[in-house]
A and B are shown apart, each in its own frame.
Chain A
Amino acid sequence: MNIAVNPKKLIKGATGDWEVVIGLEIHAQVNSRAKLFSGSSTAFGAEPNSHVSLVDAAMPGMLPVINSECVAQAIRTGLGLKAQVNLRSVFDRKNYFYPDLPQGYQISQFKYPIIGEGEVLVDVTPDETITVGIERLHLEQDAGKSIHDLDPHNSYVDLNRSGVALMEIVSKPDLRSSEEAKAYVSKMRTILRYLGTCDGDMEKGNLRADVNVSVRKIGDELGTRCEIKNVNSIRFIGQAIEYEARRQIGIIEDGGKIIQETRLYDPAKGETRSMRSKEEAHDYRYFPDPDLLPLEFTQSYVDELNAALPELPDAKKARFIAEYKLSPYDAMVLTLEHENADYYEAVAKSRDGKISANWVINELFGRLNKEGRDINTSPVSAEQLGGIVDLITENIISGKIAKDLFEIIWVEGGNPREIVKARCMEQVTDLGAIQKIVDEVVAAHPDKAEQAKTKHGMLGFFVGMVMKASGGKANPATVSDMLKAKIGLE
């Protein structure tokens, strides 16, 4: 793809501007109960070597049998990435030796992956959307886990993850800044979570990325790239790219050459370093796995899966803008996680979309963030928040009281309408009663009332006084109107 150079994304070097070129290989653990080629569990956090069958431990004579759900999940992901679904693909052996790879090879797909080219739309900022090409997606086995810090002389191997299905999603080198790369991973995570094909849990390593970085002067051919392995947070991906790009520019500007190599990002030091020991292992000697026939399925099976796909983030965002009259930014925030979008829709259904969005984003998300919770553990249900919005739009409570009501429901729970009634929180609609307070307040401050005639800011003082005297239950607009009449403003 030809991508226009955006001067804002260039990095300044001593010899001029440099363009960073980034491609990502995302490893996403497939959501499935059993492993890719065996019947043992994929569940996280089990005792060492418990979720392991003789197939996963690569005992002689054991044969792989593919899990049909893992195939379906890869197809769904391909469809979600608007990608080519290959009705025939082939499993290959990728050969290397490591203690946590008992087979001595990883079953992967090399020449004929299950999914071919596709694309993803990525919002880098509210005003900038880029298209990132997908090169391919293939199915492969995860390795086990080696633990190096339990003993000074030995490594401990746990094969619970060995054989769990991964999707490796390879992007084209279409990314031009760390911001773009971060936004891409974030969007990919959102899509996978919408599809339900990967839970996107980066802390558990269920989504991780190898980051390919190179630099070049504008208009030049692609530079030599370095691959930063296994970065497991979006923030670290950004930091690793920033460091690596500057490291490469420094070397080239000092007259050196970039050596193609595998590197590791060290978050504690904020730098990347070479993993020389992995170099020789790069001779993987792929060949078709003789234990597995080519993977074949029909177009009608693909169509069936396609028909059952959920609404995806881009479509949902567009619908929120059209249906609920939201700004693109609000729609983007609300559709990042499908649970959030579902919650919002439950609130906004047959209510004012904009007011609902404000309450969900500002009050609810704000409060959830503050307490480190997510929507699934929100103490305030969509029904309760909807009830608050109803009371506001029916003019029964003021916006200020609504915030108090939200706080009460957050802590104590309950039905909003009943709480308002029981605690006398209704907006005072008895105009006579408000007029009485207005009269009293103005009478108590004759000097300020005189000032207010010329100094409009003084009106706020009176509104505040009246609101306070009414216990926050007067409508501020009504109070303001009455005060203007009383004091004698236009």
Chain B
Amino acid sequence: MSVDQATVKKIARLARVSVEESAIPVLQTELNAIFGFIEQLKEVDVNGVEPMTSVVKMQIKQREDIVNDGEDAARVLANAPVREDNFYVVPKVVE
């Protein structure tokens, strides 16, 4: 599998990454090298091997249904570039 330049641009846009036009061919080459490596990995026979989800054999940790966090709007909003009345304020996004 390999990607063309249009796909590289699309991936960048979906990830909200700004990419200079001149960087596109470079990224294309790098991405295709990665895909090439994945193709190579595909040659390994993994029949009967379960996908690994964790390096340690353990169960998902669960929490009890108890409210013990939040109620600290000042801390939550501390890094917001613009805020008003405890709202985050962002450039208008409307349908």
Residues of A within 8 A of B (CB): 32-34, 38-41, 47-57, 65-71, 90, 95, 97-99, 146-148, 150-159, 264, 275, 277-278, 280, 283, 285, 288, 292-296
Contact = CB atoms under 8 A, between A and B. Distances in A.
Contacts of B48: none
A48 B86 contact: yes
B73 A49 contact: yes
The 8 closest A-B CB pairs, nearest first, are A40-B70, A69-B65, A39-B69, A53-B69, A156-B87, A157-B88, A293-B60, A68-B62
Contact of B60 (A66, A99, A146, A275): A66
A67 B61 CA distance: 9
Interface of B: 10, 13-14, 16, 53-54, 58-73, 75-77, 82, 84-95
A48 B93 contact: no
Contacts of A49: 73, 76-77, 86-88
Contacts of B62: 65-68, 71
Contacts of B75: 54
Highest count of chain A CB atoms <10 Å: which of B16, B82, B85, B93: B93
Contact of B86 (A39, A47, A54): A47
Contact of B70 (A53, A65, A68, A264): A53
Contact of B73 (A48, A68, A151, A295): A48
B67 A52 contact: no
12 contacts: A39-B67, A40-B70, A41-B67, A51-B71, A55-B69, A68-B62, A69-B65, A95-B14, A148-B92, A148-B94, A153-B91, A264-B95
Given A54-B75, A275-B95, A68 B65 contact: yes
Contacts of B10: 283
A154 B73 contact: no
Contacts of B16: 97
A155 B92 contact: yes
Given A98-B93, A159-B76, A283-B14, A65 B66 contact: no
Contact of B65 (A57, A70, A293): A70
Contact of A52 (B54, B73, B84, B90): B73
A292 B70 contact: no
A54 B64 contact: no
Contact of A154 (B63, B67, B89): B89
B79 to A, nearest CB: 8
A277 B15 CA distance: 16
Nearest to A264: B95
A30 to B, nearest CB: 10
Contacts of B85: 48
A66 B88 contact: no
Contacts of B84: 156
A288 B70 contact: no
Contacts of B61: 65-66, 293
